[in-house]
Amino acid sequence: MPEILKKEEDISLQLSTFRKQIKALEGKISLLENSRKDQLSIAIVSGDMDKILAAMVISLAAAAMDTRVKLFFSFWSLSALRDRNKKAAGKNFISKMFGIMLPRGKGKLKLSKMNMAGMGSMMIKSLMKKQGVMSLEQMFGQAAELGIEITVCEMSMNLMGFKKEEMIDYPDLRYAGAATFVADAGESSIQLFI
């Protein structure tokens, strides 16, 4: 009799160790499942034509490789998202000044080097056309088609006095804050900043 009791005790002890081990494994698996995805996150802060170009080329290459792409546009880069045909009413003086001083849309961006009052960017654009490099306009079109997500930093938009009404029509455009970038970047296997 005591023999059997001891055996039962052994078995229940073993069972509880198994349960603990399974619990630990479950925790590890959920960690693995929640780890980084095949996803690219770029924080785009610069509004220079060459830098936006670089970000878009990398994004499109990633999308062609079925990597999910999430772009976070902030500060000067917002100029690239302005629609040159749209205007927003009800701006104060400073916002109006910002609106006038900053490029109205991706077609008006300046080069970070050798801009030469617009001559440089004109030359680059004609070279790009000649060599079959997509224009920024075409790249945004492709990005939309490939489901590349664009998040606009709400804070910098308010800071510069831009309004949602003057932003481009883009299928996957959303407005959010820095925490959205942190969350997106945290689950991405590639994170870039330009």
Partner 1 sequence: MTQEELISLHVTKAVDARGTACPGPLLEAKKAIGTIKSGDIMEVLSADEGTKVDIPKWCAKQGHEYLGTIEGSGYFRIFMKKH
Where along the sequence are the contacts to partner 1 (CB under 8 A)? 57, 60-61, 63-66, 131-134, 142, 146
Q: Can you give the length of the chain in residues?
A: 194
- Residues in Cβ contact with 79 at an 8 Å cutoff, skipping those fewer than 6 apart: 47, 102, 103, 104, 105, 106, 108, 109
| Closer residue to partner 1, CB minimum distance, 145 or 165 | 145
- Residues in Cβ contact with 132 at an 8 Å cutoff, skipping those fewer than 6 apart: none
- Quote the least distance from Cβ 131 to partner 1, whole Å: 5
- The H-or-E segment that residue 152 falls in is strand 149-153
| Closer residue to partner 1, CB minimum distance, 124 or 134 | 134
- Quote the least distance from Cβ 93 to partner 1, whole Å: 42
- Quote the least distance from Cβ 59 to partner 1, whole Å: 9
How far is it, in rounded angstroms, from Cα 155 to Cα 122?
Answer: 32
- Quote the least distance from Cβ 133 to partner 1, whole Å: 4
| Closer residue to partner 1, CB minimum distance, 134 or 159 | 134
Closest CA to 111 of 123, 101, 100, 99: 123
How far is it, in rounded angstroms, from Cα 79 to Cα 58?
Answer: 20
| Closer residue to partner 1, CB minimum distance, 143 or 167 | 143
